[in-house]
Homo-oligomer: A and B are copies of this chain.
Amino acid sequence: MRRSKEDAEQTRSAILDAAEHLFCAQGVSASTLEGIARKAGVTRGAVYWHFKDKVDLLRALHERSMTPQEVLIRTAAQEGHPDPLGLLEQAARDMLVLFEQDSCQQRVFLILHDHSPDAEGAAWLRAKNAEMSEVLRLLALQAQARGQLAQDFTAAEIAVILMASMSGLLSEWLRGGKGFALADLGGRFIARQLQMLQARPG
């Protein structure tokens, strides 16, 4: 029997791992606490010791993982950068590379986009998306101020387009069984995308 504090932390981590895999494979509400406990090599008693209930498990899962939105925000949210579009492109590329490598990130992405019925998860996702959308909009505004953007889209519209492109790319990659090189094709795609949004001398 394991009783030390380190072992307890290890148990907690194993439970989170099991939940992450099961939530991803069968959906959140179809996954049972008994199944999670069994997969983690413990009983439901351990699960109820570490977490209040299934929703609390979800919260913990979100907390320990970094979403692609956060990855992008962390590098792209710089103020007064001389080349906002270049900054954005680099941030997007970095995000794609990390996401392609990190299977944990991929699973949490699927769980979150699993249209979870719980108000908690939905609100959390909305907040993250709003945050990322705002960063994109600000970058677009800066680029506009420098006359680097085409006139036929507003900054808010550009944010929508980029959000849709990113999330669509990730979803398509996961759903299609990773049938293409995400960082490669995605990177070229984003580059072209930004190129297309730039002001043209026409």
Measuring CB to CB, which residues of chain A are less than 8 angstroms from any residue of chain B?
A: 25-30, 110, 113-117, 125-126, 129, 152-153, 156-157, 160-161, 163-169, 171-172, 175-176, 179-180, 185, 188-189, 192-193, 195-197
Contacts and interface: CB of A to CB of B under 8 A. Distances in A.
Contact of A172 (B125, B160, B185): B160
Contact of A157 (B29, B164, B185, B195): B185
Nearest to A156: B180
B164 A172 contact: yes
25 contacts: A26-B117, A27-B29, A27-B115, A27-B117, A29-B29, A30-B117, A113-B115, A114-B115, A115-B115, A125-B175, A129-B176, A152-B188, A157-B180, A157-B185, A160-B179, A160-B180, A160-B185, A163-B168, A165-B165, A165-B168, A166-B168, A167-B168, A168-B168, A168-B171, A193-B196
A152 to B, nearest CB: 7
Contacts of A152: 188
Given A164-B168, A171-B171, 7 more contacts: A25-B117, A27-B27, A29-B29, A114-B115, A115-B115, A126-B175, A168-B172
